[in-house]
Amino acid sequence: MNVEISGTSIIGFDRGSESGDSFRAFDPRTGESVGPDFFSASVEELNAAAQLAADARISFGNVGGKKKAEFLRQIAANLESLGDLLIERATLETALPTARIQSERGRTCSQLRLFADLVEEGSWVDARIDHADHGRKPIPKPDVRSMLRPIGPVAVFCASNFPLAFSVAGGDTASALAAGCPVIVMAHPAHPGTAELAGSAIREAVKSCGLPEGVFSLLFSKGYDIGQALVRHPRIKAVGFTGSRSGGRALMEIAAARPEPIPVYAEMSSVNPTFILPSVLAEKAEEIAAGLHGSFTLGVGQFCTKPGLVFLPASQHVESFKNKLAELTAATAVSPLLTRGIKAHYEGATKERADLRKAVAEADSDGFAVKAELFETTAESFLQDAKLGEEVFGPATLLITSGSREHLLSIASSMDGQLTASIFGTENDLKDNADLISILETKVGRLIFNAFPTGVEVCHAMVHGGPYPATSDSRSTSVGTNAINRFCRLICYQGFPPHALPDELKDENPLSIWRLVDGRIVVPSQPGL
């Protein structure tokens, strides 16, 4: 692909104007702005994108799984063919290491291909067939068949911390397109050039696959107004968002106040409590300390799954654990956060906790760079200060020493919803702490044994979700194949003749998918592709 960064929104096959408010990306290493200028979309451009999406809704919603798979794979290929241009721009705009950006591109493309495989195989639609029984008394039983169908045009808001995997061509977009929904993406102002490159990759795939232009648009905006207008737009039927709690909540409220409320899938804040039980501390204090350090400083602590609260027993081994962790933290390279705002927030939050400071990386900082910080407190103090349970986005974590199981249970019970909780211990510890696990189950989307929460495997069983405020919708996941269900709704056909049914629901099962037929799962002898 031959792509230049123009700074204008992508409105179907057209481009936005250069008349809106302009803004620039920043190099987090220096804090200096970098060209070119990006131009905020106008309300007219937003309306045009929404109308194109609405016009494409039915035809794209009727595109078959094989064609959708071809489209998703083409997006992945286009992203790859951007080569170093994409890697360099994303690195420039985020200051994340090249290797991280490369691996994030790999993850983004794998994700697109995983959804391609899913929709090509086709069984994901949860097809159900209940045959008629015309002789049933007192009234005949009708023929009823159901499946998942696309919910309609989806608005996707890019995350600051994953310029590729949770942004323009990331998981929300991939799963919405896979479901058959047109997508309008709001670029994140921290990495607009990366957004435009990824957006061009999608637009080119729409073109080359012969799909309607309304399948994809990308809007830039300096402020919040266009994004909010997008969520308010009557043509939009669902929203995907990854970002701050205040941002997500604002969109939830806008969506709930619409004449027609729509679902918002916002992934917001999580402190990912990590429980280290006495047994492992005796054996592996330093190993776990090193693992925790790697996890809480990964991506300069800008992971939604960063372990932000670590519960430790009051054991004799806890000091060597803390000392090792303090030593590693002090030796951590000072690294730039993504934006000036994230840096200001991080410095404010760590300053508030100054009296709990255990260790801090020492060095001068340029641009948006910050120091890694380690804090510690007791369970008693933690229980009395709700602010200590709030997320600090950046390379900091809080150790909480607890001498009492009751304290732990009480902390777990009063905890907000989280994406994850991790438990380090022996298998017997899990038995002895069944009550703790049962409480944590009601609080999180993912329970992890003997591993840190950073690193979210993209697979069928992954749940990257959790009760509010971790997400806006505890029923869903934004990672893994289950994410496609967010952008679908159930529909059933009663008494339809075979030719008028979708292929997924025809008796002869032309797509060879597995289905629930008269209450029993039926797997075709010839498996799908």
* Touching its own copies, residues 148-207 (CB under 8 A): 149, 151-152
Q: Return the exposure string of 9-18: e unless at least 16 CB atoms fall within 10 Å of the residue's CB, then b.
A: bbbbeeebee
Is 267 catalytic? The answer is yes
Tell me: does residue 525 bind its own copies (CB under 8 A).
no
Tell me: does residue 451 bind its own copies (CB under 8 A).
yes
Near its own copies by CB under 8 A: residue from 3, 77, 363, 437? 437
Phi, psi angle pair for 38, to nearest 5°:
-115, 145
Which of 93, 196, 213, 267 is an active site residue? 267
Tell me: does residue 228 bind its own copies (CB under 8 A).
no
Say how far apart CA 199 and CA 201 lie, in whole Å.
5
**Closest approach of Cβ 456 to its own copies, in Å?**
10
Tell me: does residue 441 bind its own copies (CB under 8 A).
yes
Q: Are 366 and 31 in contact (CB under 8 A)?
A: yes
For residue 424, list its beta bridge partners: 276
Helix (H) or strand (E) holding 488: strand 488-494
Near its own copies by CB under 8 A: residue from 17, 35, 110, 256? 256
Say how far apart CA 392 and CA 348 lie, in whole Å.
10
Is 181 catalytic? The answer is no
**Closest approach of Cβ 461 to its own copies, in Å?**
4
Site for its own copies in 35-64 (CB under 8 A): 57-58, 61-62
Q: Are 39 and 17 in contact (CB under 8 A)?
A: yes
Residue closer to its own copies by CB (options 334, 451) is 451
The region of 10-18, 88-96, 285-293, 485-493 touching its own copies under the rule CB under 8 A is 485-493
Residue closer to its own copies by CB (options 37, 80) is 80
Tell me: does residue 294 bind its own copies (CB under 8 A).
no
Tell me: does residue 444 bind its own copies (CB under 8 A).
yes
**Closest approach of Cβ 295 to its own copies, in Å?**
13
Q: What are 36's two structure tokens?
A: 């070119």
The region of 204-212, 277-285, 371-379, 424-432 touching its own copies under the rule CB under 8 A is 424-432
**Closest approach of Cβ 78 to its own copies, in Å?**
24
Contacts of 49 (CB under 8 A, 6+ apart): 9, 11, 12, 41, 184, 214, 217, 219
Residue closer to its own copies by CB (options 150, 189) is 150
Residue closer to its own copies by CB (options 392, 463) is 463
Tell me: does residue 253 bind its own copies (CB under 8 A).
yes
Tell me: does residue 277 bind its own copies (CB under 8 A).
no
Tell me: does residue 455 bind its own copies (CB under 8 A).
yes
Q: Are 359 and 374 in contact (CB under 8 A)?
A: yes
- The site string for its own copies over 305-344 (x = CB under 8 A, - otherwise) reads ----------------------------------------
Site for its own copies in 67-106 (CB under 8 A): 103
The region of 23-31, 156-164, 375-383, 476-484 touching its own copies under the rule CB under 8 A is 476-484
Site for its own copies in 350-389 (CB under 8 A): none
Q: Are 7 and 188 in contact (CB under 8 A)?
A: no
Residue closer to its own copies by CB (options 282, 523) is 523
Tell me: does residue 439 bind its own copies (CB under 8 A).
yes
Regarding beta strands 144-150 and 488-494, do their DSSP bridges make them parallel or antiparallel, or are they unpaired? Answer: antiparallel
Best CA proximity match to 30, nearest among 106, 93, 88: 93
Contacts of 51 (CB under 8 A, 6+ apart): 214, 235
Helix (H) or strand (E) holding 157: strand 154-157
**Closest approach of Cβ 463 to its own copies, in Å?**
4
Tell me: does residue 494 bind its own copies (CB under 8 A).
yes
Q: What are 178's two structure tokens?
A: 């896979």
Tell me: does residue 348 bind its own copies (CB under 8 A).
no
CA atoms 170, 228, 390, 336: torsion sign: positive
Helix (H) or strand (E) holding 422: strand 420-424
Residue closer to its own copies by CB (options 209, 430) is 430
Tell me: does residue 34 bind its own copies (CB under 8 A).
no
Best CA proximity match to 417, nearest among 370, 338, 470, 373: 470
For 378, counting Cβ atoms within 10 Å of its Cβ (0-12 exposed, 13-18 middle, 19+ buried), the class is: middle
Near its own copies by CB under 8 A: residue from 223, 500, 507, 529? 500
Tell me: does residue 468 bind its own copies (CB under 8 A).
yes
Which of 304, 376, 488, 504 is an active site residue? 304
Tell me: does residue 111 bind its own copies (CB under 8 A).
no
Site for its own copies in 112-141 (CB under 8 A): 123, 128-130, 138-139, 141
Tell me: does residue 250 bind its own copies (CB under 8 A).
no
Helices 43-61 and 225-232, packing angle to 10 deg: 40
Q: Are 304 and 336 in contact (CB under 8 A)?
A: no
Tell me: does residue 476 bind its own copies (CB under 8 A).
yes
Q: How many residues bind its own copies (CB under 8 A)?
A: 82
* Residues counted in the chain: 529
CA angle 496, 502, 503 (to 5 degrees): 120
**Closest approach of Cβ 47 to its own copies, in Å?**
17
Near its own copies by CB under 8 A: residue from 290, 349, 409, 430? 430
Say how far apart CA 493 and CA 495 lie, in whole Å.
7
Strand ranges of the sheet holding 264-267, from the earlier edge strand across to the other edge? 14-15, 10-11, 216-219, 183-186, 154-157, 238-242, 264-267
Residue closer to its own copies by CB (options 166, 487) is 487
Within 10 A of 290 (CB to CB), how many other CB atoms are there? Answer: 14
Residue closer to its own copies by CB (options 39, 265) is 265
> Which residues are tagged catalytic?
267, 304
